[in-house]
Amino acid sequence: MSITNLNQEGQPQTVALPVSDKRPGAWAKMWSALRHDARWWFGFILLLFVLAAIFAPLLTPYSPTHYNPSVAEQGPTLAHPLGTDDLGRDQLSRIIYGTRISLSVGIATIVLGGIAGTILGILAAYQKGWVDQLVTIITDTLLSFPSLILALALVASLGPSMLNLTFALAVVRIPLYSRIARAQTLQVVSQDYVTASIVTGTPTWKILLRHVFPNIMSPILVQATLSISYAILDESVLSFLGLGVQPPTPEWGAMINEAQPYLNTDPWMTIGPALAIVVILISLNMFGDAVRDHFDPRTNTVAIASPAKK
């Protein structure tokens, strides 16, 4: 960097200014993001849920399926901080293990539905013609049903299980990712560098992998971050209705369903799993909003400080 000024003889001269090569590191960038946007702190809450799911056997004081009728319907104590259910099972242990089910189903749903929808959207936008029409018909058909009702119908017809629940929730999310991928792909294929690749005879699969797919990933990843919360909520609702993971496997929605008869007498049976659902949904939504704003050029702006008044 340099500036031009006048020397003692009145002649212009260029003076080089020292330029610092030191750039902020990853930790500095992360701390700056945390200071400027508090929503990023919810990522640590999500990290705690993930660690609880991974290390559940080390964190739980009891087995989640261990029956102990002698302490059934017991309130919160030092031995059982969140009390026990009607069969004497420790509520805290079951909630921690339930994190595994909710996160596993939520992530698997988004991965399967996202991959399928993205592939359909890319093919529809790139191939056009009858392929685009067929994909549009499929997405419009799926969107004509409320997502939760369609998932409920699929699980009811296939049978209640974790695998069928994941499949049903993935199917209802295909149209969302298909539309996003199609819209983004139409923008990318209209660019000159893609047209040049087509003219030079570059194979279709190379164009899709090198040019199309990398340039449409940002909005898809943002949508995936936001959609996990809805997948977990739908999974809890279907499990509450008895169409998800079957007893005695601990799951938050199923635990709330089992605690219904004791809502007036033993409310702690409901508070634990309900609070876990609320906390993870709020954390996912807040963190997802922060990710969306980070990748959105309309909101990801750098504030320029005005010079201080003398």
Q: Give the amino acid at 85.
A: D
Cβ pair 188, 212 in contact under 8 A? yes
Pick from 5-19, 162-176, 242-256: least confident:
5-19
Q: Give the amino acid at 231.
A: A
What is the greatest pairwise CA distance in the chain?
99
Mean pLDDT of the chain: 83
In the predicted model, what is the mean pLDDT of residues 70-94? 88
Return the residue matching tokens 């997802």. 288
**What confidence tier does 232 reach under pLDDT thresholds 50, 70, 90?**
very high
pLDDT of residue 25: 64
Please give the DSSP secondary-structure letter assigned to residue 64. Answer: T
**In the chain, where does DSSP find H-type helix?**
26-36, 42-54, 56-59, 91-127, 129-143, 147-158, 162-171, 174-189, 192-199, 204-207, 213-240, 252-258, 268-295
Say how far apart CA 46 and CA 282 lie, in whole Å: 10
Say how far apart CA 35 and CA 212 lie, in whole Å: 35
Gyration radius from the chain CA atoms = 27
Return the residue matching tokens 């983004």. 184
Given a cut of 50, is residue 303 above it in pLDDT? no
- Whole-model pTM: value is 0.79
Say how far apart CA 287 and CA 108 lie, in whole Å: 19
Say how far apart CA 84 and CA 68 lie, in whole Å: 9
pLDDT of residue 306: 39
Residue 148 φ/ψ, nearest 5 degrees: -70, -40
pLDDT of residue 14: 58
Q: Which two tokens stand for residue 173?
A: 């999310």
pLDDT, tens digit (0-9, with 9 covering 90-100), for 120-140: 999 998 888 898 899 999 999
| Other residues' Cβ atoms within 10 Å of the Cβ of residue 57 | 11
pLDDT of residue 307: 41
pLDDT of residue 134: 92
Please, which residues bridge with residue 5 across strands? Answer: 13
Residue 219 C-beta-side C-alpha neighbours within 13 Å: 18
pLDDT of residue 23: 61
pLDDT, tens digit (0-9, with 9 covering 90-100), for 154-213: 999 988 888 999 999 999 999 999 999 999 998 888 888 888 888 888 888 888 888 888
Instruction: Please give the residue that has the higher pLDDT: either 15 or 217.
Output: 217
CATH numbers and ranges of domains, the chain:
39-51+90-295 (1.10.3720.10)
pLDDT of residue 299: 52
Instruction: Please give the residue that has the higher pLDDT: either 91 or 23.
Output: 91
CA angle 201, 205, 206 (to 5 degrees): 65
pLDDT of residue 6: 52
From the list 162, 160, 158, the residue with the least C-alpha distance to 103 is 162
In the predicted model, what is the mean pLDDT of residues 58-70? 87
Pick from 33-37, 108-112, 115-119, 197-201: least confident:
33-37
pLDDT, tens digit (0-9, with 9 covering 90-100), for 280-298: 999 998 888 888 877 765 5
Given a cut of 70, is residue 16 above it in pLDDT? no
Cβ pair 279, 45 in contact under 8 A? yes
